[in-house]
A and B are shown apart, each in its own frame.
Chain A
């Protein structure tokens, strides 16, 4: 059992994170450009909490996860993990950091080597990082990990294609757990799963968090799932953070029009309620991050935008204690 963590201390601090991708021009000579995947975001995750990160595809939420994991080199800003600035660490130093910071992917199938048995997949990091050096003890540890994620010891002999989607995601979780991390970045961990299985995995993640005092960054597009699992929720739009608040505050009293639109778009499995509900259907599509709008990036689709919105970038302000929003009108 790991020691009881100090809850007040932030485990991860992200300050002014920027990630730009340069894209080359096409063959026909269209000019290249810079994709502003993340355009200056700040947030912290406290020990033991779950921060939900929501937004539509292309908003930068997955890139944020990859930057924290240092799978991408940030263009700017700082990432402080367990009190250490990891923004510029070299490969060797990163190795120890990576043990403490694990990831669970959306598609467990493509992240598992099809030629390795589940037992081998789980034993490999234990061996490579020298966590469990003895072979027999490693097998014990693999069994233990399988049990922790609700699989049976006999699953160790199976290969990824012999498992169902839910079981594969359990293996993905076990692999992350094997390193005894403090932070797990869950990148859309349930969106590829069937509805009836999603709940199993969410429950499992919650159980594990309680048992091992894990901290989660939970990246997802499904607002109902995020509401269920997160303590605080951050909403991203086009590389910017538009709102950040406690779960309850955000869902009951969203301050940003984009958050409101998102919430209203979520269908509710109750026809009567759906019939009564006010729908706020957004116009248009998410603009290209190659060429983001001026001012507030949301203004072209915003139902309440005023003149100022197209001219001036709204900063992320703390409107109420602990409730931040980037909107001139909030």
Chain B
């Protein structure tokens, strides 16, 4: 029910007509959707790449086994795609999927369970010399089996609450088994899927063109005759393209200022969809550096941040907005605001928080005017405004912080050396799912990408507990406990503000719903143009 409420809220923001008229509109066939893409992927292999620059132009050529409901603005609900239905064994260890019949690859051959198995085997058990960047997320899988042409079975090592969501990952394109058997890396440089669109051309640095696949299995779809993705690095150029009506939509996000400008210039021709965004900057505190080994000091750092005031001020100038914990606000596992505000640094009385922070620092023996270095990544938005904001917040509890900005590409290699005291870290999910969103914070021994360099078995146990919970309420409780330990009691990491996704697009674009992830909902099968 909450989901529906937030959908209506979004529709209201977007200034769309009433739902009644939405329903009355019949999808129209034809037209070419044009959209700028701010980044270009190195290869075409979804199993290997990590950039949305791959999803936006290339997802329409493929299908996945499951997908995230394209009409659900929370972006959390797995629904059928190539699999039309599934059953889960009582013990939660066997998942059996029935595949759609009559699914054809673009070369005309039939898609069978062999292809699904081959694709997942490549992701989970890659042969030598084949890159799979998300292999670790499927550690739960024991084996993938294809007992008959239209059945795929996943055997798990233990029960997993997030497994279905994992199969709805937008990255896990289903490739053709015969091709993979011949050349496991073929899909890095070639495209051949079952998706609603067929690949026409990719001009390096310029654009990708797709055309409606006449033999698409989901009858009646897609509506578009084709699409054209144009690589465009400069955000001003992207905005200009939408404003000049040379492009319909940009699927990542614009800033609030761009939104206002577009709206002012084009009025009703622009429809705005907004959502909290499953991306967040957080602050890693190196537990190996004194005095940050002392949790009182870490708590003081988070207590110093006036998140509510920051949300108001920073949302005007940066792409951040909501005050959040470890889950995107408004999604099923998110902590409700009233409860979230009880965490250290989330309170509404900032003076009280700061007094507490000063007391803790004193207790920890940290002298007045203590100095440390805050390393930040050389990306103007939103790293820099957030960095400046935090340094100012820390100054107000008597800390003197040096801002050390490092070139974007050199940043993580530097952080990985473990020399930084306090640094900005980043995480962005392709689907809102606690397993994925919280994995980052596990002890460094379990996740080397935890640059706080701490070991916290209690926290790890809470993670495993929620991950294997079969009951929704049980999982929620474990997540809540995890959040409290991570952000309040131990203050291992500090969360800043949730990013805010703003998509002002041409009002001609219909059938596309914003979700918290810019990796989601880019198959374009449901999208149509009014003219």
Is A–B contact present in the complex under a CB 8 A cutoff?
Answer: no
Residues on A close to B: CB < 8 A? none
